[in-house]
A and B are shown apart, each in its own frame.
Chain A
Amino acid sequence: MRKDTGAQPGPIRTVLVANRGEIAVRIIRACREMGIASAAVYSDADRLAPHVIAADAAYRIGPAPASQSYLNIEAVLAAAKRAGADAIHPGYGFLSENAQFSRAAQDAGLIWIGPPSATQEALGDKLAARRAAGEAGVPVVPGLQVALQDDDLGAATAVGFPAMLKAAAGGGGRGMRRVEEAGELPAAMAAARREATSAFGDGTLYLERLIAPARHIEVQLLGDRGGALACLGERDCSVQRRHQKLVEETPSPAVTPEIREALFESARRVAGTVEFHNAATVEFLLDPEGNHYFLEMNTRLQVEHGVTELVTGLDLVAWQILIAGGASLDRSVLEATPRGQAIEVRVYAEDPYAGFAPVTGSVSCWRPSDGPGVRIDHALVEGVPLAVEYDPLLAKLMVHAADRPAAVRRLRRALDETLVGGLQTDLGFHRWLVEQPEFISGDYHTGLIPQRWAEGPEPSADEAALVALAAAEARRSSAGAMTPPPAARAGEGEWARRARQGALRQ
Chain B
Amino acid sequence: MSALRTTVAGREVAAAEGWHLEWLDRGRGIAQLSDGSRSLQVHVEGSGTRWFVTLAGRRLEVVVESWRERTLAEAQLAAAATAGPVEIRATLPGLVVAVNVAVGSEVEEGEPLVTIEAMKMQNEVRAPRAGTIGLVAVSAGAAVAAGVVLLRLD
Residues on A facing B (Cβ under 8 Å): 172-174, 191, 195, 199, 242, 353, 356-360, 364-365, 367, 382, 388, 415-431, 458-459, 461-479, 482-487, 489-490
How distant is the Cα of A468 from the Cα of B14 in the complex, in angstroms?
7
List 27 interface pairs A-B (beta carbons < 8 Å), by A numbering.
A173-B120, A195-B122, A242-B121, A360-B93, A365-B30, A388-B93, A424-B58, A459-B58, A459-B60, A461-B13, A464-B11, A464-B13, A465-B13, A465-B15, A466-B19, A467-B42, A467-B60, A468-B62, A469-B33, A470-B31, A471-B46, A471-B64, A472-B64, A474-B51, A475-B49, A475-B51, A482-B48
From A191, A427, A483, A490, contact of B47 by CB (8 A): A483
B137 CB–A CB distance under 8 Å: no
Q: Is the CB of B21 within 8 A of A473?
A: yes
CB-CB contacts below 8 Å: B61-79 with A: 62, 64
B54 CB–A CB distance under 8 Å: yes
Contacts of B129 in A (CB 8 A): none
Q: Is the CB of A360 within 8 A of B146?
A: yes
How distant is the Cα of A478 from the Cα of B57 in the complex, in angstroms?
24
Contacts of A462 in B (CB 8 A): 16
Q: Is the CB of A471 within 8 A of B44?
A: yes
From A423, A459, A475, contact of B4 by CB (8 A): A475
Q: Is the CB of B14 within 8 A of A465?
A: yes
B141 CB–A CB distance under 8 Å: no
Contacts of A482 in B (CB 8 A): 47-48
Chain B: CB-nearest residue to A361: B146
Q: A468-B15, A469-B19, A471-B62 are in contact. Are A417 and B41 (CB under 8 A)?
A: yes
B102 CB–A CB distance under 8 Å: no
Contacts of B46 in A (CB 8 A): 471, 474-475, 485
Greatest chain B CB density within 10 A among A418, A465, A484, A486 is at: A486
Interface residues on B, range: 35 or more
Over the window 17-34 of chain B, the binary record of Cβ atoms lying under 8 Å from chain A Cβ atoms (1 yes, 0 no) is 001110100111111010
Q: Is the CB of B14 within 8 A of A470?
A: no
Chain A: CB-nearest residue to B59: A424
How distant is the Cα of A430 from the Cα of B57 in the complex, in angstroms?
8
Q: Is the CB of B8 within 8 A of A464?
A: yes
Q: Is the CB of B33 within 8 A of A466?
A: yes
- CB A504 to nearest CB in B, in angstroms, measures 24
Contacts of B11 in A (CB 8 A): 464
Q: Is the CB of A421 within 8 A of B28?
A: yes
- CB B43 to nearest CB in A, in angstroms, measures 4
How distant is the Cα of A388 from the Cα of B47 in the complex, in angstroms?
27
Q: Is the CB of B28 within 8 A of A476?
A: no
Q: A472-B6, A474-B21 are in contact. Are A489 and B56 (CB under 8 A)?
A: no
Q: A474-B44, A483-B47, A490-B28 are in contact. Are A467 and B53 (CB under 8 A)?
A: yes
Residues on B facing A (Cβ under 8 Å): 1, 4, 6, 8-9, 11, 13-16, 19-21, 23, 26-31, 33, 40-49, 51-60, 62, 64, 91-93, 118-122, 145-146
Contacts of A465 in B (CB 8 A): 13-16
From B26, B30, B45, contact of A422 by CB (8 A): B45
Q: Is the CB of B47 within 8 A of A476?
A: no
State the 10 A-B residue pairs at the shortest beta-carbon distance, nearest first. A427-B57, A471-B62, A428-B57, A468-B6, A421-B43, A428-B58, A473-B21, A465-B16, A469-B15, A471-B51
Chain A: CB-nearest residue to B42: A470
Q: Is the CB of A382 within 8 A of B47?
A: no
Contacts of A424 in B (CB 8 A): 58-59
How distant is the Cα of A382 from the Cα of B43 in the complex, in angstroms?
14
How distant is the Cα of A419 from the Cα of B53 in the complex, in angstroms?
11
How distant is the Cα of A477 from the Cα of B51 in the complex, in angstroms?
13
- The B contact surface, by secondary structure, is strand
Contacts of B62 in A (CB 8 A): 467-468, 470-472
Contacts of A388 in B (CB 8 A): 93, 145
Contacts of B21 in A (CB 8 A): 469-470, 473-474, 477
Contacts of B59 in A (CB 8 A): 423-425, 428
Chain A: CB-nearest residue to B28: A365
Supplied contacts A242-B119, A472-B4, A478-B47, 4 more A-B pairs, CB within 8 Å: A365-B43, A417-B41, A418-B57, A462-B16
Q: A199-B120, A242-B119, A464-B13 are in contact. Are A470 and B45 (CB under 8 A)?
A: no
How distant is the Cα of A360 from the Cα of B52 in the complex, in angstroms?
16
How distant is the Cα of A474 from the Cα of B6 in the complex, in angstroms?
12
From A359, A467, A483, contact of B8 by CB (8 A): A467
Q: A428-B57, A472-B6 are in contact. Are A416 and B29 (CB under 8 A)?
A: no
Q: Is the CB of A463 within 8 A of B55?
A: yes
Contacts of B29 in A (CB 8 A): 364-365, 421, 486-487
Q: Is the CB of A484 within 8 A of B6?
A: no
Q: Is the CB of B120 within 8 A of A195?
A: yes
How distant is the Cα of A486 from the Cα of B145 in the complex, in angstroms?
23
How distant is the Cα of A424 from the Cα of B55 in the complex, in angstroms?
11
Q: Is the CB of B28 within 8 A of A382?
A: yes
Contacts of A367 in B (CB 8 A): 28, 30
How distant is the Cα of A476 from the Cα of B51 in the complex, in angstroms?
12
How distant is the Cα of A462 from the Cα of B48 in the complex, in angstroms?
24
Contacts of B23 in A (CB 8 A): 477
Contacts of B6 in A (CB 8 A): 468-469, 471-472
Q: Is the CB of B45 within 8 A of A485?
A: yes
Q: Is the CB of A475 within 8 A of B57?
A: no
Chain B: CB-nearest residue to A415: B57
Q: Is the CB of A357 within 8 A of B57?
A: no
Chain B: CB-nearest residue to A359: B146
Q: Is the CB of B45 within 8 A of A428?
A: no
Contacts of B43 in A (CB 8 A): 365, 419-421
Contacts of A486 in B (CB 8 A): 26-29, 45
Contacts of A426 in B (CB 8 A): 57
